[in-house]
Structure 1
Amino acid sequence: MFSRFDRNAKRVGEILAILGRYGLADWLSGLNYEWLQGRLVSFDGERLGTMMQEARIRLALTELGATFIKLGQMLSTRADVVGPALAEELAQLRSHTPPDPVEKIKETIRTELGQSVDDLFAEFNDTPLASASIGQVHQAKLTTGEQVVVKVQHGGIEQKILGDLDIMGVLVDLAQKHVSYVRPFQPVSMLREFRRTLLSELDFSSEKRNLQEFAENFVKDKNVHFPKVHADLCSRRVLTMEMLIGVSGEDVPAMRTSGFDMNEFAQRGANMYLDMIFRDGFYHADPHPGNLMMLPGGVVGVLDCGMVGRLDDTMREEVESLLLSIISKDAVELTDTVMRLGAVPSNLDRDGLRTEISNFVSEFASRSLRDFNLSAALKQMTDIVRRYHIILPSTLALMLKTLVMLEGTSRTLSPNFNLAALIEPYQVKVFKHRLSFERLFKRLYRAYRDWDRLIDMLPRDLTEILRRVRSGTFEMRHEHHRLESAINRLIMGVLSASFFMGSALLLAHKVPPAPGDVSITGVIGFVVSMVFVWRLIRSIHKAEDADKKK
């Protein structure tokens, strides 16, 4: 393990020195040693001892460089882990890395694309438009006359990030083994996810594919535009794309003087994001104002598609349930969704959680949709989840953070903007989708595939169990607590599901006898499955009543 420290000894020293200085400042903040506090300053000259702890953490990560800035940005999406105050502070992390010399940039382009800058471009501006943690951007003109921007990776940044990830790996392993209160947050798993995401951002081919997929998803939407990618001028470390001409979302005064209605522009941007999440399950995950542009005609231009999120069908439906239950103020559905989504501790106070969520819903129930602040609701909901030590999936945490950022950006453009009012119409679309034949068929097929796999595996598994029983190597551990009744309910549940799925297939295929194209056998199967379900529910209620009497 520590060989990774040895390989990066110098960098380890830098990290420990910076963390030590900011940690010492934290300890000194309560003391009056003015002469010593005056010597502890951040990289930009501010006194550390006078700052809030969250600000010191943000500054420490900034000083530690690209990898730690990216780590902070990832943690800003995990208010359920680090708390809302620190998450909000980390959301301000931005990197303004000094640019590489232009000679180094041109050499990278020549190495990656196989030709010199002069051969590839009619013009190339030596002064970068911007420089961030991973790369810098230059304006250029193609031989066809098209204006483009060329994003080039900083020299040596990949090696530095890999070294930092090695060091983080050692620290996280130690924390998971020896610091009990961090174990429930699964830091090793979180670092693995962070590593995967960061290495994907280092490969500009990923951003190229993201841009192409977004453009394809919105090809029919004339209110949204993604930069066209010039694939022949792209590689792992170079990305060439169309230069968008418009007003940056950071320049709000200029946008307001453009003559286009700001509320309409904010709604276009928000609708784009809602389509990404609810329709496509693939969304741009960094909607800060600098990544949005107002193009001519009020078209929404989108920049920097390196950070994206994906939701599979199951997670997308859970997200729909979560958001719609908040907006429709349905405490029961909201509680059930949270418990389905999160990693729930074994000692969860379920009654306490239900009470807190009911109080949360009651607080927002009295507000009209116009006064409903979705960001505040999501933050409060995340705070409840954190207090009960429920860990949300990283995909969900990123999506919730994206919605909070989206509402903040939209309100910067239009103070009266209301994201909840835009989400509500999606309720009808969601219900239509859930009742569609296509979705029903997909779910039935998935269930059939799972049962088919189970039927295929079950004989072999039973044979293996019998073999172990005969050889005396079979072991089973269980806690006997009304086991017979639990097994009976399990069998009844399996039979109910089997009858339901079989009946649905019989009805879908109109298996005869089928007067009026309705399978009689299928209808009988549905009736039988409903009887099983009714008996199952009764037995569960009886068991709950028995528990309450004890």
Structure 2
Amino acid sequence: MKITAIPQLYRNVKRWREILTVLRRYGLADWLTQFRLPFRDVLKDRGGVPLSQYSREQRVRMALVDLGPTFIKVGQVLAARPDLVGPKLGEELKRLRANVHPDSIEQVRETLSAELGSDYEKHFQSIDAVPLATASIGQVHRAILNDGRHVVIKVQRSNIERMMRQDIEVLTGVAQLAQRVDAFAAWGPTEMVRQLGPMISRELDFTRERHNLEQFAEMFDRNRSDVIVPRPHKPLCTRRVLVMDELVGQPLSEFLSDEVDKIDETTEAVKCDRLAIKHRLCETIADVYLMMIFDEAVFHADPHMGNLIVMESGQLGILDFGMIGRIDENLRETIEDMLVAISSGDQNRLTRLVRRIGDTPPSLDESRLAIDVAEFIGTYGKQSFGEFDLTGALNELSDVLHRHAIKLPNQSALLLKMLISLEGTLRELGASFDSLDVVKKYVRGSMIRRLSPRRRIRQARRVYLETENFLESAPDELITLLKMARQGSLRVTLEHQKLGPTVNRLVLGLMASAVFLGSSLLLAMKVPPLLFHEPGAFGIQDLSLIGTFGAFSSITVMMWLVLAINRSGHLTRGNDD
């Protein structure tokens, strides 16, 4: 551990203790599941159910809930990364909900006063004391502006920023420890936490969500009159407060439950009418989200049932723009190529695209990856558009990436998570609607755009500018290298990967050998203090205490080295890999 980390460790020692207590509790239950012991069911959850009866994924989710809002948010972020945690754990983490007590109305008013000024009440006729919804970072209250407009106020929870920054510091320390374990090091925990920090900081800044709302409102005004998003009231928005229009309608989840409750009370004609409404909703949702991906290159990342509203006017309302994804041209084209490769059964092309879209580890087994991709195409490549299981295909693709430790860029992972969530929402609607027909339409349009003369001209212009820049800078760079070589200042740095542990073991082995040799001499020369002045068992007499201790210590160290090398897998086999 670095010396500079000591103040951070001391500052967060209480939080470290809390985290280790929770992890030990759930990790112990995981250990006990391997044995039929009488005390294995001693540890129980708040409802009295033994923890050993839960799966490992369920205990991970429960531990995150116990650890508080920061870890709940981390779990929600990781739910969008099935390539890292696997589809099974990713699916379980989707169930994470912030089980936190809301701030009191007095705390909310203190935040509003600090952000909008002590006279903030002049802007509102009323503010509901009971929150409409509570999340890990903020809570939402209904309010009415002075001009009579109904709005909702999203207010950041008090002290949440300080607590989350403290937890990120602790997570950084945990990641540094995990980086030393080979089983975790392959996933780059320190890099993962380094990316999580800015993501959580962005969610703490409601200004970004306001910009997202403005961007999507302008987008739908331009393209879709049947979709609406809340419009922010910019003068009343700050970093910790977001005031926006209230969308009055029925959440999609309640809409479906009402359908089930009333199904026996309706006539056949009304049933058919409602099926038509559900079919239109399916078509609108799929069309809107695919338009975001293929036409606008920016998408709403969380299309679950609670974020979609059926408005009284028949429009589709979309909520919660705290997390959005953006797609560059290369990623969009790669997605299109993958869809074409799957539909055409091109195994080799799909394997190359999987490697291109993600960060592959140095130890990637390309032959096993090719076999997994071949099985994937064999399962999903032959399905017709009407029978295609998009959720199963996306989950299977996530599993392939997870097995081969292929890490997706953040935006690619968000897109994958959004597509899985979108398909699940469409399935819950239950209408006989084939979303892949819409996908096919957008892919066809994108392919036409890729072959258009305008795009070719833009590509040629970009290549020309990059070539011109290279030709201008290359001679100067070459002259600089030649000057450095002539002056003797040119240096080549070689970095040895994982050489440190090998050198440490070599030095420790030499030291143990030297101690053993010296101890043998002490024993042979009977250097005092001596044990067993009279002959004992096996004729042992006048045994040097220092020599005995040294010999025992050196033998212990050498046995530990043998076990350590054996665990690494390089005791008897060569190091060809």
Q: Where on the TM-score scale, by shorter chain, does this alignment land: which range?
A: 0.7 to 0.9
1:304 is matched by which residue type in structure 2?
D
For the pair shown, the structure with the greater C-alpha radius of gyration is: 2
Q: Contact between 1:319 and 1:396, CA under 8 Å: does it hold in 2?
A: no
Whole-Å Cα distance in 2 between the matches of residues 329 and 296 of structure 1?
A: 45
The aligned residue for residue 19 of structure 1 is 23
Comparing 202-211 and 66-75, the one that deviates more: 66-75
The aligned residue for residue 349 of structure 1 is 365
Q: Contact between 1:277 and 1:311, CA under 8 Å: does it hold in 2?
A: yes
Matched, 1:243 2:246: yes
Matched, 1:165 2:168: yes
Q: Contact between 1:407 and 1:418, CA under 8 Å: does it hold in 2?
A: no
2:278 is matched by which residue type in structure 1?
M
- Which of 170, 193, 196 does residue 195 from structure 2 map onto? 193
The aligned residue for residue 216 of structure 1 is 218
Matched, 1:287 2:322: no
Whole-Å Cα distance in 1 between the matches of residues 17 and 369 of structure 2?
A: 45
Q: Contact between 2:123 and 2:145, CA under 8 Å: does it hold in 1?
A: yes
- Which of 108, 113, 125 does residue 111 from structure 2 map onto? 108
Whole-Å Cα distance in 2 between the matches of residues 46 and 417 of structure 1?
A: 41
Matched, 1:37 2:41: yes
The aligned residue for residue 202 of structure 1 is 204
**Secondary structure, in 3 states, of the residue corresponding to 1:239?**
strand
Deviations 1:87-121 (A, max 9, x none): 11112111132110101101111110114453121
Q: Quote the offset at 1:43 in angstroms.
A: 4.1
The aligned residue for residue 2 of structure 1 is 6
Q: Quote the offset at 1:169 in angstroms.
A: 0.9
- Which of 146, 152, 156 does residue 153 from structure 1 map onto? 156
Whole-Å Cα distance in 2 between the matches of residues 102 and 123 of structure 1?
A: 12
Distance change >3 Å, CA 2–CA 423, structure 1 → 2: farther
**Secondary structure, in 3 states, of the residue corresponding to 1:369?**
coil
Comparing 187-196 and 396-405, the one that deviates more: 187-196
The aligned residue for residue 72 of structure 1 is 75
Unaligned runs of 5+ in 1: 479-550
The aligned residue for residue 138 of structure 1 is 141
1:463 is matched by which residue type in structure 2?
I
Whole-Å Cα distance in 1 between the matches of residues 138 and 291 of structure 2?
A: 30
The aligned residue for residue 400 of structure 1 is 416
Unaligned runs of 5+ in 2: 263-272, 495-577
Whole-Å Cα distance in 1 between the matches of residues 299 and 118 of structure 2?
A: 34
Q: Quote the offset at 1:44 in angstroms.
A: 4.8
Return the TM-score normalized by structure 1.
Answer: 0.82
The aligned residue for residue 528 of structure 2 is none
Whole-Å Cα distance in 2 between the matches of residues 395 and 191 of structure 1?
A: 16
Q: Contact between 1:324 and 1:424, CA under 8 Å: does it hold in 2?
A: no
Q: Contact between 1:215 and 1:225, CA under 8 Å: does it hold in 2?
A: yes
Return the TM-score normalized by structure 2.
Answer: 0.78
The aligned residue for residue 28 of structure 1 is 32
Whole-Å Cα distance in 2 between the matches of residues 121 and 104 of structure 1?
A: 17
Deviations 1:206-258 (A, max 9, x none): 11011111111111301211011111111111111110111112211236769
Q: Quote the offset at 1:298 in angstroms.
A: 3.0
Deviations 1:349-369 (A, max 9, x none): 334323332232122233211
Deviations 1:348-393 (A, max 9, x none): 3334323332232122233211110111111112222232332222
The aligned residue for residue 361 of structure 1 is 377
Distance change >3 Å, CA 14–CA 119, structure 1 → 2: same
Q: Quote the offset at 1:31 in angstroms.
A: 3.7
Q: Contact between 1:229 and 1:240, CA under 8 Å: does it hold in 2?
A: yes
- Which of 175, 191, 200 does residue 178 from structure 2 map onto? 175
Whole-Å Cα distance in 1 between the matches of residues 206 and 335 of structure 2?
A: 29
**Secondary structure, in 3 states, of the residue corresponding to 1:232?**
helix
Q: Quote the offset at 1:194 in angstroms.
A: 1.3
Distance change >3 Å, CA 44–CA 163, structure 1 → 2: farther
**Secondary structure, in 3 states, of the residue corresponding to 1:353?**
helix
Q: Contact between 1:211 and 1:305, CA under 8 Å: does it hold in 2?
A: yes
Distance change >3 Å, CA 34–CA 291, structure 1 → 2: farther
Q: Contact between 1:225 and 1:300, CA under 8 Å: does it hold in 2?
A: yes
Whole-Å Cα distance in 2 between the matches of residues 113 and 319 of structure 1?
A: 44
Distance change >3 Å, CA 16–CA 422, structure 1 → 2: same
The aligned residue for residue 484 of structure 1 is none
- Which of 444, 450, 463 does residue 447 from structure 1 map onto? 463
Whole-Å Cα distance in 2 between the matches of residues 96 and 169 of structure 1?
A: 24
Matched, 1:48 2:64: no
Q: Contact between 2:65 and 2:99, CA under 8 Å: does it hold in 1?
A: no
Whole-Å Cα distance in 1 between the matches of residues 381 and 40 of structure 2?
A: 52
**Secondary structure, in 3 states, of the residue corresponding to 1:42?**
coil
Whole-Å Cα distance in 2 between the matches of residues 243 and 99 of structure 1?
A: 20
Deviations 1:177-216 (A, max 9, x none): x122333322222222211111111001111011111111
**Secondary structure, in 3 states, of the residue corresponding to 1:368?**
coil
Q: Give the alignment of 1:409-448 within 5 angstroms.
A: 409-414=425-430, 416-448=432-464
1:183 is matched by which residue type in structure 2?
A
Comparing 88-97 and 369-378, the one that deviates more: 88-97
Q: Quote the offset at 1:431 in angstroms.
A: 1.0
Comparing 95-104 and 388-397, the one that deviates more: 388-397
Whole-Å Cα distance in 2 between the matches of residues 424 and 471 of structure 1?
A: 61
Distance change >3 Å, CA 32–CA 185, structure 1 → 2: closer
